[in-house]
Structure 1
């Protein structure tokens, strides 16, 4: 009787892809890959009951709790690494859970800890891609990486992360599973940067989309930040995360929302909190169906057009509290 297959289930952004690459450099394994666009977070629903062994990376446990229980009840052994909200976490003898929701942690950092820094440059690139530049630089201390090397890792993380944004895989330059396979044979991210045609193609797409982004203007300016509503086009969906991260980096303490119109007229929402410890992005997004994420960055997968007014009012009330506190000091 054939053994049950192993499944590697991972978010399609830089953090999920580089977390899996670190693990498989350390422990090579044949596995069926399950991934998708960044917001395709309910990935465990795709797995059959008799899944055997499952490795899960960078998808919210809260969004997958029911499917996770189903797999465990079917006899699966699951190792789970994630940094998103895990309020629904539970103990199980066949579940090994590595979760940390701190705002300066990403999944690749959790894998780096698990592997004692064995493949650290990949974790540094992932942290840069997840908009955790400070954490990336701290992680790189004592590695001997100079400023040029750090800049190269930052660009790698940003470009691979950018590729994950879209309503569907057809919006992306490269499907996440294919991009993960393109890393195969590259122990060092610097080798991948130097040799990969796939990486050069992503960089070209990134430059083209960033040029289009320069013409964007906010839909609403608020005391605590701004809201952007982007045109209904593939390039705008790809660039939404880059825009949100750049806005957050340019105005420390301010909060931003970037909305992309979906094909059905609803919105895909990215939120960045300027005060993640007191006014978390996930705390705001969880007020809407399909919303969640982490303290600094979160989103809503499907905001109905009829809910846009409620979203705008709620965003203003929630994040202007931070601006009012700052002005009072």
Structure 2
């Protein structure tokens, strides 16, 4: 290589090539079609789906061994991985934790600077590395082995240091990445994510983890509101409860409707049991018939009226009101006695809907 074609020449050549490349790229962008972009997207999905199918076809008893290892774990599951593997590891840890398997993510670099102390003797570790040769493993693997902490490897290399040190290996290897240069983890990233989901869902179903338990991990969302709240948590009681006795009049019911704004008045007998209900609609229909406000409420009310059990989940109560095309209902205890009332607004205000 002559002096002219040394480093400076290469840099100049690189800049020139880059400039030409930019021009070509700009020209290609101008000439490219929507069909071309669509074809790229479809090709990406086709490659990733094909690799996912290949992973499914070779899935064997290793997933069973991994599940058994985590079912036997008395501590927590610690998930770790570098780069893109780390991002996917965080999702896998979150999926495990929200479906009945206590788990958290530890970054390998942070583990080597103190966070390794977060891993206890009763824990199990899932380490994600497609090559199985992340540099951090040189220091982490001996420490895990010294403490006899079981290790599950999610990797594409069955003969890597990670695979050899693991009690169980989950193979996410691919023949082809969707990246045309074969550099960006695409098909392998999808396989890793799917393997994590397969692991989490298998454990969840084996444990019989149910929707209410799931909601306890998500109390701040609409799912938690639907499943954790009971009718008695949200119902109106005391002075907010629209109530009159069977001996009352339509006038008494109208005043209660106006006072509480629930859209419904509960008519009770002397034992505090619901005899019927009277709604805004009932009032309009009563007056249109030419009847008076002095008439007895027992002649105007709807019998017996739909009631909601206080112990019902709020989500089930909402569905029941929608199915019956009503906006409110009395709430009764296990003995059938009136304890409150609730309407759609109360449920929506609690984030249920």
The TM tier, using the shorter chain, reads under 0.3
Which structure has the greater CA radius of gyration? 2
TM-score by length of 2: 0.26
Hey, which of these two has a bigger chunk of helix by percent? 2
